[in-house]
Every structure is written in structure tokens, then in C-alpha cells.
Amino acid sequence: EHFKEQGSRYELVVVSRFHIAKDLTKTLRELVPSAKFVFDTVDLQFLRAQREAELVDHQDLLDKAEEVKHAELALAESVDATIVVSSIEQQLLQSIAPQLDVHLISLIQEVSNEVAPGVEQRRGAYFVGGFEHPPNVDAVVWFVQEVMPLVRRRVPGFELSIIGSKATPEVQELAAPDVHILGHVQDLDPFLSGCRLSVAPLRFGAGIKGKVLQSLAAGLPCVMTTIAAEGIGLEDEVNALIADEPEAFAEHVVRAYRDPELWSALSEKGRQTLEQ
């Protein structure tokens, strides 16, 4: 009703996220005929779907990912410009659809100037993410089942807090004396200042991961996968610890947890990377 009455006043319409934009764009085009249209991908849904399908090697999921790819590209074709948050995704779109006008506008994360508590005053690790998002479910299940047993052997008393709304049954079943399912929390600051590490063991996904930015901005080292590090300018053993296999991921967790000098270097370099 609003756009029927006021559509002629609009010069620019930005539609965000494919699953929302695909249903709105055609209607808005009719109601706001003179406006420029921009598609803000947030993350490329077809890339996330494709990576999930390849991870589980499921042909039906691969077929579905291909359908999403055609639809998402068609939407990008129908608008005046497209925004992505990651240089990886900009390069991907330009390679498969060079005619698109694709702009890189990354996520913005304020970097804290406060002096964070030192490593000696911290304990445990946390993961944060809403569990309606399948990559987050897969990530914590993989970490607790495949990585935690390796960490437990070398770091007595290591504990993981799992933070995020709408935990699925698979996530709830991970609860143990050293694995705490906390659900939604109002304030993440006590974890950013009280935990020794955050972990981002994402095995599929797209875009840039806010959970990684938030951790690094607070000076809290994050052990992550290649997928989680994508598009941020992070490099293993330089300004982050990045691994994709359980043994290597566990090794990074143990090293960052037990080595104060490494912890301090990662804390400082992570902040510097976000400032740059």
C-alpha cells in the first residue's frame, strides 16, 4: 500500500538477501518504476548451497544449488547493480557473469580501543551463531565430536560455551560437563573479555563471518576454518590460526590456549588487520 501511494518518490531501492529479494523485486519494479535497483547479496546463497552439497557429496543438494545459482544470477541480471561483502565473491561473479555491475562493500566492525584482560585471566572458549542457520549446526557438531576429544587430552579443564538461539536437537545433544549450551545471551561482552579463545569451525558458508570480526575486534584470538576466514585478509600463522582438519584445528586450539606469547601476538595482529 505504501509503495502504491509513494512509489514515484523513490530514487533508489536496495533489496537484501536472495530469499527475500527474489519475491519482492518484481513487485517493487512495478510499484517504483523510476528507481534504480541494487541487490545486496549479504552472502551468495548458491555458493553456500554448493559448498554444503560438496561437503556431504549429495547429488540432490548439488542439483538444488545449481537451481539457486541460476535464480540468483537472474536476479542480479535484473537489477542495476549488485553488492557483495567479500572479494572472493566479487571475483566469482565477475568470472561467471562478467556483464554484471558488482561492487565490493565489506562488513564494518568497530575495533575496541579498550585494553582487554590478559590471557592469564581468561578460561574456556566459545562459539556463537544462531542455529536456524545450517552451517552453524554443522560447525559445532563437528567441533565437539571431532576436535574436542583431541583438545581434552592436552588441555585438562578445557570448556566450550555454545551461544545462540534456537539450538537444534543435534546441538542440544552435545551438552556435557565441559560443553555448555547457553542459548541466546543478551550480552556477549563477558565472553569476549573472559574467554581465552573463540572458535569458528565452519565447513561451508559464504560471505564474511561476523562472529570472526567481532572476536578479532575485541582482541580475542579466533581459531577458524578457511571458510570462516574468507574475505577478511587473514593468513594462517600470520594474523590468525586457520585449519580444516580435526587434528590441525585441535593443534591450533591447544597452541593458542597454552602459549601466552602466541595468544598476545594473535590478539594484536587480529585487531590490526581489522583496522586496516
User: What is the per-residue pLDDT across 198-243, written as a single tens digit (0 to 9) for each?
Assistant: 999 999 999 999 999 999 999 999 999 999 999 998 999 989 999 9
The 8 Å CB, 24+ separation contacts for 170-175 are 170/137, 170/141, 171/131, 171/137, 171/140, 171/141, 174/140, 174/141, 174/144, 174/145
Determine the 3-state secondary structure of 104 from DSSP.
strand
Q: pTM for the full model?
A: 0.88
The closest of 19, 3, 13 to 75, measured between CA atoms, is 19
According to the model, what pLDDT value does residue 135 have?
95
According to the model, what pLDDT value does residue 118 have?
86
According to the model, what pLDDT value does residue 113 have?
79
Residues facing 70 on adjacent strands: none
The closest of 268, 271, 258, 267 to 120, measured between CA atoms, is 258
According to the model, what pLDDT value does residue 152 have?
96
According to the model, what pLDDT value does residue 57 have?
86
Tens digit of each residue's pLDDT, the chain (276 residues)? 999 999 999 999 999 999 999 989 989 999 998 999 999 999 999 999 999 999 988 889 899 999 999 999 999 999 999 999 999 999 999 999 999 999 999 888 888 777 778 899 899 999 999 999 999 999 999 999 999 999 999 999 999 999 999 999 999 999 999 999 999 999 999 999 999 999 999 999 999 999 999 999 999 999 999 999 999 989 999 899 999 999 999 999 999 999 999 999 999 999 999 888
| Letter string b/e over residues 152-179, b meaning 16 or more CB atoms within 10 A of that residue's CB | eeebeebbbbbbbeebeeebeebeeebb
According to the model, what pLDDT value does residue 44 have?
93
Instruction: Render 55-76 in DSSP notation, one character per residue.
Output: HHT-HHHHHHHHHHHHHHHHHH
As a whole number of angstroms, the distance between CA 140 and CA 164 comes to 11
According to the model, what pLDDT value does residue 117 have?
82
